[in-house]
Structure formats: structure tokens, C-alpha cells
Chains A and B, each alone.
Chain A
Amino acid sequence: MGSDMRTPSDSPPRPPLYVRWILRLLLNRDDRHMVTSDLSELYEHRRARDGDRAAAAWLRRQLASYPYRLLADRLRRAAPSPARYVRTGEPDSNRAGESVRNLFRDLRHSVRSLVRTPALSATIVATVGLGIGATAAIFSVINAVLLQPLPYSNPSQLVRIYTDAPPNRWGLSVADYLALDEQQTSFSHIAGYTNSTITFNRGDHAERVRGKFVTWTYFPLLGISPLRGRSFSESDGVPGTEPRVVVSHGFASRHLDGIDAAIGKTVRFDGRAYTVIGVLPRTVGPFEQDRAFFAAAQWEAPPRRGPFFIVALGRLRSDSELSVAAEELRVINRRIFPIWQDTYQDEKASWGMMDLKEVVVGDVGTTLVIVLGAVAFLLIIASTNAANLLLARATQRSRELAVRAALGASRARLLQHLLVESGLLAVGGAILGLAVTVGGIELFTTVGADFIPRTREIGLNGPVLWFLTALTAASVLLFGLIPSLHGSKSRFDRALRSGGRSSTDAAGPAGPRRLRRALVVSQFAVAAPLLIGAGLLIGSLANLGRVDPGFDSHNILTAGISLPAANYSAPSDVAAFWSEATSRIRALPGVEAVAVASGRPPNQFRHTNDFVLEDKPTPPGASPPAVPFLSVTPDYFDALGIPVIQGRVFTDRDDFAGPDVAIVDETWARRFFPNESAVGRRFYEGGCTPATCSPVTVVGVVGDVTYTGLENPGEGTVYQPMLRGIFLERSGYVFVRTPTDAMTVLPSVRNVVRELDPTLPLSSVATIDERLADSLDTPRYLTILVSAFAAVALALSIIGIYGVMSNFVQRHARDIGIRIALGGTPSNVLHMIVRQGMQLVVVGMIAGIAAALILTRFMSSLLFEVGATDVLTFASVAALMLGVALVACFVPALRAAGVDPVRTLREE
């Protein structure tokens, strides 16, 4: 073995990534090869002489010095050396080389001058970077949610079909679905599903999981193929067939020992055994997102038209037209109407369809566009602010530029220099912007997942990066080009003559001054709508917070319990469970009252039902009224503290055997019986006629409680006894009232339920106060977001006006001095300066308020009991802006008033 035998450990350590990168950038291949070869030879020499450690340390020092030395050399070479001209006698090799050298020189010069003014540079980079980043982050959401087609095959053919009974829209019934599937010709597929949350049991572990019951056509319609196993066949949907289920990738990995082992396994959902026949891919569309299971729906042929619980989807044939398909839906609906007239009388209701994307996006679209508008405004303000700052600097530097021009620099050269400077700032802004975008996307996909659909599809992808690039380019143009053009155009001779000092006719070129003022005006014009928008949202949120929930919401614990149909098939089993559970919980120490209901304030209810009043039948051609129906136990009103206005509440005798009774709320009573008592009135529930059912009698009127959300004025609620309603309530919320903190009784409530049935989990445990607060999360986040933007916009505008006025005072110090010397009082001066500044503010604000009058109309759907042109908000915002701007003008004005005439004049 000779000494030149090399083992891998002999070769020097690889240079760090950044060194390799810089070597690659600054050296050609041959040089690079030579440098690394030399380094490794020297390294071996050192190793032999000084040992491994010393050699490694030496190599680190050498490598560390490389980037710096190469860069320094590159910059030195960029500057043309006068000696070279003399020596070679040629002007210079080529023009391209010269402009590259010019660029490098500009870069060096710019870096130096930007570093000399760190506050200015940092302000510009930070504001522009934040603006770019925030705008791009919001755009990433809009791109994923609104712009990208749904991630299904040929998504433009997909529609949702619904029952259209203005003002309500609801699903289809089993009868509807079967008729539609059989008779339609416009669609290549029809599918239906219902969302469901069921209890998954594994050993003694029970968990609530979300999923869907789907028709066998669901996966083929959306174009989804399982990753493992198969999807459903037609026979899987036939009632009585062995229940089959397709599960999500996550569910199979977590609970079924992986996607391969899952196929053929049996899982117990709500006590019923399902065979797993397929596993979905990891990436799924918005309809499958966060759903663990897709079970084959087995719908029995119905005895009546309702209830309408199926979400129906359709895929249009490629050759069918929308209008033809829509007409066909109406025709089929009319055709089946007579068949079910006994159980469904709303002749006006028909079927309609809407683009599936609309279903997914919902009303988030408006919010997103408003937020994007807000950040875009912010970016404009940030850029104009940067333009303003740079413009101020360009004006101050007019002498420097004039000297360069006098020495022969062309206008293009000066322009290039100034553009390089703003380009550098923009690159800084873009880097910061990228970081903000990445952070924003992270935030939206985690925290935002509760409010925003399709979050799985949000990411830093091509469109977002293009948008980021375009934003950067646009802001460079805005804050770079304007000041640069002005900077390079200034009157050099005059700038030189004036010696850079202030004097009336050489107070800087008039162009930039006008431009700076225009920029300040536009900043206020843009900040005003933002502030007004924020003001309206704040007012709306405050109104929502003040909404009286209609009952004493403190110290109430609630939790959901769902009884599996397999174990609780008979109504008597269900009744026994609820009554046993309530009486055992009531016996717990620290419990004042217990109740069960099928809904939960402020925004949860399960059924909307229509009905026909006995005294006031629905006029022909009109849809019967429909309101939320809740099933409650007798103690419900007492436990929640809902006042009984008239009549009685339910008793234990209102059960299966008793007559049909109902309690209505005040709104219902006022709506249908404005000047009379509602107690004793009778109505037929939806789907009933005097021939088929007995009427329901109203026995009491209670105070209003909202189940449709605090922001929605209720249209009335009907309560029915838990064990008497049209639906057998296997799922309900338990309400436990305690004298103090309600959460303290949670463990004992859990124990009671576990004793009764160990397979039952408690779901969505919360106090009512928490539910009330959570229900305002979405408007609260929107308000915080827009207010934050508005605050930044105001701050930037204030900086803008302050800068302009300070500059004004500085430039006019001599005039002010003369004025004071000639007998002007400081208060004269103060007035003059403040008036100057406030003129700009007022002009900008008027434009902004005019814009707001138009723009806020678009957000009226988000406002609660606040008009889009609320005078108080507009006036408060105007007062706020005027007040703050006044202070911003006052500070420089005070400085002006304090000018010592003797000193300023002596300086001349």
C-alpha cells in the first residue's frame, strides 16, 4: 500500500453548501476545479505536517475566506481602473462589459447609501415586505378556494340539486331522489349523500367520527377511485345487504393497521358491523376532507314525500345544456307532485341546481375578497409611503445627482442608479414578503381550517409565486420609478446654484413636491375606506355581542350524546335512556337542573319543518311557513331559564300516549297571531293533512332563544316533547345547570353516562357561554384582521403627512424666519403650516369617504344591525383621522413657530 492510496477519509471535507454555491456563481468550471484541487493538495500537506485537527481548522478558515475574497475581487474588478485605459490605449473592451460594471458599481454605491440610512431602508423593506406578503398570503387562499376548479374530474359538469322553496333551500327526500335518478336524462350520474357523525367502537374505546352515507354512484360521479380495494357496486345500496364502508387513508392507518390490512376488516359504527371494502387516497377533495368513512346508504322506499335530508349531486352529460337540465328538473318535480300530495302540499317548491363549487365556497367568498381588498389597499399605501420617502431623499440628493450629471452622467445612467437602489429595497421587501406569505399560509391551513373551505389545497404553488413576483414588480414600479424619474429630471443647474440651501425659488423642484402631496392625499383616500370598513365591522361585532340570547347562559354545561340505532331500536329504549340519564345526572351533587334537547343555542338545530295553521291555511300557490323544530324534555325551559310567557311547559305526561302538543316562542306567536293568543291554536306538521294526522295544539308561549345564530333574526321556533316529536330523537344535547363553574361537574356526568352505556362517548362538550363566544369567532377574526390593516394604514398615512410637513417646514425655514422678523406671530405661522397639511388630509378624506360609500355596500351581508353607510361610523372615522392628522401637522408646525428669525437669516 503506497502513500498515495487514498481512502475516503483522506479527502478533505466537502465545502459547505453556501461556499459551493458562491464558487459556482463566481468561478468558471476550470477555475473551480483548480481551486478545489489546490485546496485539497494543501490540506493533505497540512495534515501530514500538523495533524488532522489543525488541517481541518485551516481548511475551515480557508473556505470561510473564499466567498468574501471572491466577492470583493469581483466588485473591485467591476470598477473600471483608469490605469487600464492608459495602459491599453483602448477605451474599453465592450459596451456590455461596461454596463455590467456600471451595474455593479451602482449596486455597491446603493448598498452603501442604503446602509447609511438604516431607518429609512428598514422602514421601506418592512412595510413593503409586509404588504406584499400579506397580499400574497390572502391570494393563496383565494386562489385555492375561489379560482382553482374543484379537484374532481371535469368539475365544471358538477352540480348540486336542491329543493327550492324560497326563501329556503333544502335537500331532497328519498322519494325525490329515487324519482330523479329514474327519470332524468340530462345527467350522466346522480348521487346522494348525508353527512353523519357516528360512534366508532374498538374494544372498550369509543370515539365520534365524521363521515357520509353515500349512494353507490357517489365515487364514480366525482371520479374518485379508492387507493386500495374497490368502491361500491349497485347491490351495496340495496336495503338488507351486508353494510359496506370505504374509509379514509387516515382512518385506515390509525385504526385498521394500515391501508393494506384494512380491506376486509369489520368495523363497528353505532353498534353496527360494516365490512371495509376500500381505502381512499391520502389526498381527497373538499367533500371528503376530514371525513373518516363513506358507508353505502341503504334507503328504504318511503311511505311519504319527506323528510328532505339528502344532498343530491349531479354530473351533467357533456352534451346537455344547463337550461335544458334545469327545465327537466322542474318537469320531473311537477310530475311526481300529485303522487305525494297527501304528504306534501307545497306546490310552489321545485328543484333547482347550483354549481358544486358554490356549495363548497359558500359565503366565504365575499369575506375573502373583502380581506384581499383590504390588504391590497394596505400594499398601495405602503408602496406610496416608500415612494414618498424615496422622493424626499431624491429631492435632498438633488445636488449629488446634479454633480454627477455635470460630470457627464447621462440621464439614463442616473435613472439606472436610482432604480437599482429601489430594486434592492424591493428585493429585500420580496424576501420578507415571501417569509410572510409562508407564515400566512401556515396560519390559514391550521387555525383557519375551521372557517375556510379547501384549506388542504392552499399552498405556495405556481400561481401564488407568480402573484408574489408580479406584486414585487408592481411595487418597484410604484415606489421606485416615480421618485427615480423625478430624481433624474431635476434641474441640475439650479440645484447647483442654490448650493443645496433653502431659498424661496430654489426650495427644491416643484414636480416632486406636488407628487409627494398627491401621494399623501391618495394615502388618506385609501386609508379612509379601510378605517370605515373596520369601524362598521367593529360596530357589527359589538351589536352581536350585545344580542340577548334569551336565557341565563351562565353555568350551563352541555354535551352531545348519540344513541346507536342498532342498540336502541325501540322508541321505549330511547325514552328509557334519556329519562334514566337525566334523573341520575340530576341526583349528582352540585347540579341544579338537567334537560335534553335536539338542538343547542345559539346555532345548532337539526330539523326545519313546515306546517299549516288550522285557522290560517296557506293560500294556494304559496309555500307553507317553515321554522326550526326542537325536541326538548320537560325541564328544558326551567334548566335554561327561558321565561314562560303564556300557557304551560311540557310535563312527563306529554309522551307517546298523550295528545300532540307544542310550545312556540314569542316570535312565532307574534308572526302568526299578532294580536291574539297563540295558546290553543292548532297546526298540521309538514306532510300531514287532516286526513292523515291529528293536529298539534299549542299549549304554551316562551321567550325567544336563537338556534340559527346570533346574527340571524329568528322567524319563530316550535318545541315538541322529546318523546313525542315527529322524529325519534336518538341524538341530543344534555344541558346541566350548576350554581358555579359548570365544568366542575363534567367528570361525574361522564361517569353517569359510562355507567349507563360504556360504548357512548360525550361529544362537543362545552359550556353555553363558550358556545356563544365561539359562534362569533368568524366575525371576530374578520374584524381583527381588517382593523389591524386599518390601523397600519392609518399609521402609514400619518407618517406620510408628518414627513411632508416636516419637509415643508425645513424647506421654508427662511421664509418663516422672514415672516416672523416682519412681525408675524408664531400663531400665524402655526395656522399657516397646519392649514397647508390639513388641506391635503381633507381632500384625501373626502375622496376616501366617497369611495367608502360605494365599497362598504359589498360588505353589507357581513354587517349586523349596522347600515353599510352608518353615519355614526363615517363621522367617527372622519373625526379620528382629522384628529390624528392634526397632531401630525401640529408637531412640525410648532417647530416652525419656534423658528428664531435672527438665526435663520444669519445662516444665509
Chain B
Amino acid sequence: MPREMLGEFEHQVLLAILRLGGEAYSVSVVLELEERTGREISQAAVFIVLRRLEEKRLLTSRMDNMVEETGRVRRYFKPTSDALRRLKESRRTLDRLWEGLDATLEQA
């Protein structure tokens, strides 16, 4: 059955959420990604991808209104079991493709 592959950035965002304990809001995702990739991450891009992943039913979210005092709104996102399965699939696919290529890359 043909299945849409996870995009690279979608992949990264999902992994960042997992690294942050399996549930995270967008600011922490941005900061985590920046730390891990060493690049400046666009908040808009993260926001859009989170929204898209939720539409694809790969994330669920809940509002946290802790923030009456500060006026802040935080939406926490959590990968669904479908998302975890897709991540594993992706990893397996990539691993299979990587097999035996270490030497080739070393030479390059």
C-alpha cells in the first residue's frame, strides 16, 4: 500500500518531541531543534509542521492554560502510535539503505 513518506522536517520535529519526553510545545521544539542541528529554526515552519502532523493524525494535542498570569498559551503535542510506527518504519528503511555504505562514504 503506497504511503506518504515523512518529510525530513516532519521527521525531525517528531524526533525532537520524543527527545523532550514524548510531549512538548512549539517553543521547546524550536529550541531543541536549534540545539541539535546548530541552525536557526523558523518558528513559523515548526508551527506549520505541527499543525500538518496533527491533521495527518500523527500528533494529538492539548491546550495548557497554565498561563492566565503571564497571558501565555501553550499547546502540547504528543506523537500518536501511528506516528511512532511510521518513525520506526522510516528508520528501518533508512537503515537498510545505509547497510554496507560506511566504507564507501569513508572513501569519499
Contacts and interface: CB of A to CB of B under 8 A. Distances in A.
Do the two chains bind?
yes
B47 A83 contact: no
Given A39-B43, A69-B42, A86 B48 contact: no
Interface stretch (B12-20, B23-31, B89-97, B98-106): B23-31
Contacts of A548: none
Contact of A83 (B4, B48, B73): B4
A62 B44 contact: yes
B2 interface: yes
B70 A42 contact: no
B27 A65 contact: no
Interface in A45-60: 45, 58
Contact of A62 (B3, B4, B42, B71): B42
B73 A33 contact: yes
B48 A69 contact: yes
Interface string B46-78: 011001100000000000000100111111000
Given A69-B48, A81-B4, A83-B2, A42 B42 contact: no
A461 interface: no
A42 B4 contact: no
Contacts of B51: 31
B8 interface: no
Contacts of B52: 73
Contact of B74 (A31, A37, A83): A37
A45 B26 contact: no
A530 B43 CA distance: 59
A42 B27 contact: yes
Most A-side CB within 10 Å, residue of B3, B30, B44, B74: B44
Contact of B2 (A33, A66, A86): A86
Contact of B72 (A41, A66, A69): A41
Contact of B27 (A38, A61, A62, A86): A38
B50 to A, nearest CB: 10
A66 B44 contact: yes
Interface residues of B, number: 25
A728 interface: no
B66 to A, nearest CB: 12
A62 B48 contact: no
A34 interface: yes
A204 interface: no
A65 B25 CA distance: 20
A70 interface: yes
Contact of A37 (B2, B44, B71): B71
Contact of A65 (B26, B42, B71): B42
B1 A42 contact: no
Nearest to A30: B73
Contacts of A40: 72
A14 to B, nearest CB: 15
Interface residues of A, number: 25
Given A37-B71, A42-B43, A70 B48 contact: yes
Contacts of B71: 37
B48 A42 contact: no
A39 B72 CA distance: 10
Interface string A717-754: 00000000000000000000000000000000000000
A4 interface: yes
A38 to B, nearest CB: 5
Given A45-B31, A86-B2, A4 B42 contact: no
Is the contact region of chain A dominated by helix, strand, or loop, or is it mixed? helix
A340 B87 CA distance: 112
A35 interface: yes
Interface string A1-36: 000100000000000000000000000001101110
A21 B51 CA distance: 20
B48 A73 contact: yes
Contacts of B2: 83, 86
A38 B26 contact: yes
B43 A62 contact: yes
B44 A4 contact: no
B13 to A, nearest CB: 14
Please indicate which of the listed interface residues A34, A70, A73, A83 has the most CB atoms of chain B within 10 Å of its own CB: A34
A39 to B, nearest CB: 6
Contact of B44 (A30, A69, A87): A69
Contacts of B70: 4
B40 A42 contact: no
Given A4-B70, A45-B31, A70-B48, A38 B4 contact: no
Nearest to A34: B73
Interface in A548-599: none
B3 A83 contact: yes
Contacts of A31: 47, 51
A70 B44 CA distance: 8
A78 to B, nearest CB: 14
A37 B63 CA distance: 13
Contacts of A45: 27, 31
A662 B68 CA distance: 98
Contacts of A65: 42, 44-45
Contacts of B48: 69-70, 73
A86 B27 CA distance: 33
Contacts of A62: 42-44
Interface string A64-75: 011001100100
A664 B9 CA distance: 99
B73 A37 contact: yes
A73 B71 CA distance: 28
A86 B72 CA distance: 39
B21 to A, nearest CB: 18
Contacts of A33: 73
Contacts of A39: 43
Nearest to B49: A73
A30 B64 CA distance: 12
A33 B75 CA distance: 11
A62 B27 CA distance: 13
Contacts of A42: 27, 30-31, 43
B3 A38 contact: no
B1 A38 contact: no
A38 B43 contact: yes
A69 B44 CA distance: 7
A4 B40 CA distance: 26
A817 to B, nearest CB: 51
B62 to A, nearest CB: 13
Contacts of A58: 40
Contacts of B3: 83, 87
Nearest to A11: B71
Contacts of B31: 42, 45
A4 B2 CA distance: 51
A40 to B, nearest CB: 8
7 contacts: A35-B43, A39-B43, A41-B72, A42-B43, A65-B42, A69-B45, A69-B48
Interface of B: 1-4, 25-27, 30-31, 40, 42-45, 47-48, 51-52, 67, 70-75
Given A69-B45, A69-B48, 17 more contacts: A30-B73, A31-B47, A31-B51, A34-B47, A34-B73, A35-B47, A37-B71, A38-B30, A38-B47, A41-B27, A42-B30, A42-B31, A58-B40, A62-B44, A65-B45, A83-B3, A86-B2
In order of increasing CB-CB distance, the 10 nearest A-B pairs are A83-B4, A69-B44, A37-B73, A66-B44, A37-B72, A73-B48, A41-B27, A34-B73, A33-B73, A38-B26
